[in-house]
Chain A
Amino acid sequence: MGIDFIRNFPLFTIVLSLFSSVLCMMLDGRRAKRYTVCYECFLIALSCAVLWYVSETGEAFTYVMGEFPAPWGNEIRAGVLEALFAVMFLTILLCSVLGGWRFLLIDVEHSKINLYFTLINLLTAALMALIWTNDIFTGYVFLEILTLSSCGILIVREIGRTTLAAVRYMVLNLLGSGLFLLGVVLLYSLTGHLLMVPMRAAVAEIVAEGGVITITFSLAVLTIGLGIKSGLFPFYFWMPDTYGTATPASAAILSALVSKAYILLLFKIYWRVIGMEVFEQLPIRYLLFGLGILGMVFGSVSAIRANNIHHMVAFSSAAQTGYIYMGLGMGGPLGYVTALFQVLAHAVTKSLLFLTTPRLARVSGDSLLFQNLEGSAIRDKSAGIFFTLCSFSMVGIPIFAGFSAKLLFAVAAVETGNLGVLFATMLALAVSSVLNALYFIRTVIRVYTAGRGGADISAPRIYAEEHNDADTAEPVPDTGSRLSYWVPALILTGMNLFLGLFSWVTVDFIRRGLAMFA
């Protein structure tokens, strides 16, 4: 068994996750948690090994399943980019589950906690498959598995609003999946292939023969489908309900990983199915650029108008998704690198924000309204500190990941050499940064202002509903300062600072990944 055994690891991450999800059904809650935590650590180690292997060999490898060669079989492909995203996504997933554990005990019936981990493992399998796959139809199947498992982790919290939020989330996601399927079918009918490499050759041939319109149409259908799923402007209105009503661990996973996985799949299709030379000629690029900028502005405006901290954070996700699409539409090598960097920067920041805001609410009579949150950062000091650090990253204060991302966007806009793009990007960055500062800094000041917060808790509470239900006898677990929050929060902050201070390391990795991506 030589070092080349590492080539099997990407497949292991998918298959073992499916197996683990079945296993968790048979364990009790605490054992399922312990198993999942150990298992996720194991997966991170496997992905790190793959990352090391592809960095050392300097080229991507393809794993052919069932030994059927290229046009027929199903393939997995691993390069630096895929491995980097696998490592980061798994780490964020682990931190989210650990950080949200105390709230999970409140939100989920104790006998059903193992099922939550079943869903988490299923979600891991889907995330890994979307990252590694080289086959567009496999992409569709795991896209649906991701949708179903994300709906599952959303509705584990059994309150009425969550059900409604899940229904809306599912309806929009089904719409997106339907459009994605149609796009895949159209591309298959045009190219006759499902594997990305032969598809790209066929697409290049079709474009050379003048069939740009058919390719554009299929790609537009695909883009709208995945745009709806990932919250591209104007399809972001489902975000506040979905993220706002989910249990903290789920909200962190949904906003940081699930919506980003859809964007990664879209990016993969642009690079590996359409090919960047062809994509840069298509008008879709400008549409993405424009919608991205609109998302940045309108997401922030909605966040300013929100009266509830969860809604504010959720709308800020819409704004941050806008940044990613702006980078995709901007073009130029650095534009794509920055878009991918922003995916990571947003994922580490937003996951910690969603783990932190419920703690602020917890010490304010379980209310998420701003007026009740006054002084909450003084009552829960650790949550206050982490909320402030994340807010700084979101606004774009230097040394944090958000700043590096914004700086890179500006440099990328200069590099495109297109004055219109440069002007639009600079204006959008300036306006969006001011708007971000407006609501995040305002909230930071508010949570540190000793006011009447916590005293007036006549407003309906987030956890009031289920406690009125049957099992009030169950003691409410303490959510105070504990290792289960501190450790993941510190890891996520560390990743944030690493992305901010040593952004060139990550950018270099993404560059090398893109070089072997095509």
Chain B
Amino acid sequence: MRETISALLANYEEAAAIILFVIGLTMLLFHGNLIKKLIGMNIMDTGSFLFLASMGYIDGRKAPILVDGYRGVEDYINPVPAGLVLTGIVVSVSVTAVMLSLSIRLYRRYHTLNVDDVYLLSRHQLEDR
């Protein structure tokens, strides 16, 4: 038990990332409100990004940009995870934008953002068809 806790504390960034991911996943799955689902999705993605960013960062090292000459491999961090996070953020933003526009459309039609309510409202139409 103590070993587990100390392992978690040593890797607190990764632990936090996984906790964030699970919180987001739960929100996305179980919240009825579409906006809250979207917030959940963003928290979930943030969890993944934190995981990536914490992997790329090494305490005491700098970004690999040469300002005053090359200082050796030991002086720089790995820039790839940061690049991945940036790409991931762009993807996440565009997905959020599309989902928000869908939410607006849904709200205009059914005057509610609760997916379960909308489902009930449209259920009779679905069954009749």
A joins B in a complex: yes
Q: Closest CB-CB distance, B32 to chain A, in whole Å?
A: 11
CB within 8 Å for A174 and B109 given contacts A164-B122, A181-B88: no
Picked from A178, A241, A308, the residue with its CB within 8 Å of the CB of B25 is A178
Interface of B is mostly: helix
CB within 8 Å for A160 and B52 given contacts A151-B98, A175-B28, A178-B25: no
CA distance A83 to B122 in the complex (A): 43
CB within 8 Å for A170 and B125 given contacts A144-B91, A160-B110: no
Contact, CB under 8 Å: B48 / A185: yes
Within 8 A of A (CB), among B107-129: 109-110, 115, 118-119, 122, 125-129
Contact, CB under 8 Å: A174 / B129: no
CA distance A307 to B44 in the complex (A): 38
Contact, CB under 8 Å: B95 / A174: yes
- Which B residues are in CB contact (< 8 Å) with A308? 129
Report if A512 contacts B (CB, 8 A): no
CB within 8 Å for A167 and B34 given contacts A160-B110, A174-B28, A459-B129: yes
Contact, CB under 8 Å: A185 / B34: no
CA distance A137 to B86 in the complex (A): 12
Contact, CB under 8 Å: A241 / B126: yes
Report if B55 contacts A (CB, 8 A): yes
Top-9 shortest CB links A-B: A178-B44, A144-B91, A160-B109, A181-B48, A460-B128, A163-B105, A174-B41, A163-B106, A189-B55
Q: Closest CB-CB distance, B48 to chain A, in whole Å?
A: 5
What are 29 A-B pairs at a CB distance below 8 A? A137-B84, A137-B87, A140-B88, A144-B94, A148-B95, A160-B109, A161-B122, A163-B105, A163-B106, A164-B110, A164-B118, A167-B106, A168-B115, A171-B28, A174-B41, A174-B99, A175-B28, A178-B21, A178-B28, A179-B25, A181-B45, A181-B48, A182-B47, A185-B48, A188-B52, A188-B84, A194-B80, A460-B125, A460-B128
Contact, CB under 8 Å: B37 / A171: yes
- Which A residues are in CB contact (< 8 Å) with B102? 151, 155, 163, 166-167, 170
Report if B29 contacts A (CB, 8 A): yes
Contact, CB under 8 Å: B24 / A178: yes
Q: Closest CB-CB distance, B86 to chain A, in whole Å?
A: 11
Tally of chain B residues near chain A (CB < 8 A): 40
Contact, CB under 8 Å: A185 / B51: yes
Q: Closest residue to A307 on the B side, CB-wise?
A: B127
Q: Closest CB-CB distance, B39 to chain A, in whole Å?
A: 12
- Which A residues are in CB contact (< 8 Å) with B95? 144, 147-148, 174, 177
Chain B interface (Cβ within 8 Å of chain A)?
Answer: 21, 24-25, 28-29, 34, 37, 41, 44-45, 47-48, 51-52, 55, 80-81, 84, 87-88, 91, 94-95, 98-99, 102-103, 105-106, 109-110, 115, 118-119, 122, 125-129
Q: Closest residue to B126 on the A side, CB-wise?
A: A161
Report if A433 contacts B (CB, 8 A): no
Contact, CB under 8 Å: B109 / A460: no
Report if A369 contacts B (CB, 8 A): yes
CA distance A163 to B111 in the complex (A): 13
Report if A443 contacts B (CB, 8 A): no
Q: Closest CB-CB distance, A139 to chain B, in whole Å?
A: 12
Within 8 A of B (CB), among A135-191: 137, 140-141, 144, 147-148, 151-152, 155, 160-161, 163-164, 166-168, 170-171, 174-175, 177-179, 181-182, 185-186, 188-189
- Which A residues are in CB contact (< 8 Å) with B21? 178, 182
CA distance A459 to B126 in the complex (A): 11
- Which B residues are in CB contact (< 8 Å) with A241? 126
Q: Closest CB-CB distance, A494 to chain B, in whole Å?
A: 33
Q: Closest residue to B96 on the A side, CB-wise?
A: A174
Contact, CB under 8 Å: B109 / A163: yes
Contact, CB under 8 Å: A170 / B24: no
Q: Closest CB-CB distance, A14 to chain B, in whole Å?
A: 16
Q: Closest CB-CB distance, A466 to chain B, in whole Å?
A: 13
Report if A118 contacts B (CB, 8 A): no
Best-surrounded residue of A148, A171, A368, A459 (most CB of chain B within 10 A): A171
- Which A residues are in CB contact (< 8 Å) with B80? 194
Known A-B contacts: A178-B45, A181-B88. Give 13 more (CB < 8 A): A140-B91, A141-B91, A160-B125, A164-B122, A167-B102, A167-B106, A167-B115, A167-B118, A179-B25, A188-B81, A194-B80, A308-B129, A460-B128
CA distance A181 to B91 in the complex (A): 11
- Which A residues are in CB contact (< 8 Å) with B52? 185, 188
CA distance A295 to B95 in the complex (A): 29
Q: Closest residue to B94 on the A side, CB-wise?
A: A148
Contact, CB under 8 Å: B84 / A178: no
Report if A462 contacts B (CB, 8 A): yes
CA distance A160 to B106 in the complex (A): 8
Report if A367 contacts B (CB, 8 A): yes
- Which A residues are in CB contact (< 8 Å) with B106? 163-164, 167
Contact, CB under 8 Å: A175 / B128: no
Contact, CB under 8 Å: B29 / A170: no
Q: Closest residue to A182 on the B side, CB-wise?
A: B48
- Which A residues are in CB contact (< 8 Å) with B122? 160-161, 164
- Which A residues are in CB contact (< 8 Å) with B99? 170, 174
